[in-house]
Structure 1
Amino acid sequence: MIKVTVPASTANIGPGFDSLGLALNLYNTYEFEEIENGIIIEGCIEEYCNENNLVYKSFKTVADKIGRSFNGLKINMETQIPVSRGLGSSSACIVGGVFGANALFNGNLSKDELFKIAVEIEGHPDNIAPAVYGGLTASLVDDDVPYYVHYEISEKILFCALIPDFETSTSEARKLLPQMVSLDDAIYNVSRIAALLKSLEAGDFNMIKMSLKDKLHQAYRRNLIHEYDEVEKICMENNSVVMFISGSGPTLMNIIENSDFTKAINNSIIELKHKWEIKFLNVDKNGVLVEK
Structure 2
Amino acid sequence: MRLRLEVPATSANLGPGYDAFGLALDIVDTLTLSVHDHPVDPAGCVTVTGESADGLPRDRTHLVMRVFAEVFAAEFPTADPGLLDRIALDCVNRIPHSRGLGSSAAAVVAGIALAAELGNWATGEELTRERILEIATDYEGHPDNAAPAIFGGFTISLSGPARSWQVPVRTLDAVTVLVPSVRLDTDIARGLIPAEIAHQVAAENSARAGLLVHGLLNDASALFAATDERLHQEFRRSAYPESMALVDALRAHGLPAVISGAGPTVLVLANNVPDTAVPDGVVSRRTLIDLDGYRVFRES
Q: Normalising by structure 1, what TM-score?
A: 0.90
Task: Tell me the residue number matched to 2:111.
Answer: 97
Matches within 5 A, 1:210-289: 210-232=225-247, 234-236=249-251, 239=253, 241-256=255-270, 258-259=271-272, 261=273, 264-265=274-275, 267=276, 269-270=278-279, 272=280, 275-289=281-295
Return the match for 1:291 from 288, 294, 297.
Answer: 297
| Structure-2 change in CA distance of 1:287 and 1:54 (3 Å) | same
Query: 2 CA distance for matches of 1:88 and 1:195?
Result: 24
Which region of structure 1 is more displaced relative to structure 2, 87-96 or 115-124?
115-124
User: Mapping of 1:30-179 within 5 angstroms?
Assistant: 30-35=31-36, 36-39=39-42, 40-43=45-48, 44-45=53-54, 47-65=56-74, 66-67=76-77, 68=79, 69=81, 70-105=84-119, 106=121, 107-142=125-160, 145-156=161-172, 158-179=174-195
Letter in 1 for 2:230: K
- Structure 1 residue 212: Cα displacement: 1.6
Supply the distance in 2 between the matched residues of 1:165 and 1:250 (Cα, whole angstroms).
Answer: 9
1:14 matched to which residue of 2?
A: 15
Give me the CA root mean square deviation.
1.7
Unaligned runs of at least 5 residues, structure 2: none
Indicate conservation of the 8 Å contact 1:9/1:22, yes or no. Answer: yes
- The offset of 1:154, in angstroms, is 1.6
Q: How many residues align?
A: 280
Secondary structure at the residue paired with 2:106? helix
TM-score w.r.t. length of structure 2: 0.88
Instruction: Give the conservation status (yes or no) of the 8 Å contact 1:196–1:208.
Output: yes
What is the CA-CA distance between 1:34 and the residue it aligns to?
Answer: 2.2
CA distance in 1, matches of 2:249, 2:233: 18
Q: After alignment, is 56-65 or 131-140 more displaced?
A: 56-65
Structure 1 residue 46: deviation in Å?
A: 5.3
What residue identity is the alignment partner of 1:276? V
Query: Does structure 1 retain, via aligned residues, the 8 Å contact 2:10–2:145?
Result: yes
Shift of the 177–58 alpha-carbon distance from structure 1 to 2, 3 Å rule, reads same
Asked if 1 retains the 8 angstrom alpha-carbon contact of 2:192 and 2:236, the reply is yes
Q: Tell me the residue number matched to 1:182.
A: 198
Aligned AA (1:282): L
CA distance 1:194–1:243, shift in 2 (3 Å): same
Deviations 1:54-92 (A, max 9, x none): 101110122112123221321001111000000000011
**Given the alignment, which residue of 210, 222, 244 partners 1:207?**
222
Structure 1 residue runs without a partner (length 5+): none
Q: Distance in 2 between matches of 1:125 and 1:95?
A: 11
- Between the aligned partners of 2:87 and 2:173, the Cα distance in structure 1 is 41
Q: Deviations over 1:91-115 (max 9, x none)?
A: 1101111111121232421221122
Matching residue's letter, 2:172? K
Per the TM alignment, residue 2 of structure 1 is displaced from its structure 2 partner at its CA by 0.2
> Does the C-alpha gap of structure 1 residues 211 and 122 become closer, same or farther in structure 2, counting only changes over 3 Å?
same
Change (3 A) 1:123 1:276: same
Percent identity between the two aligned chains: 28
Partner of 1:29: 30
Inter-CA distance 153–178: structure 2 relative to 1 (3 Å threshold) = same
Amino acid at match of 2:282: W
CA distance in 2, matches of 1:286, 1:18: 21
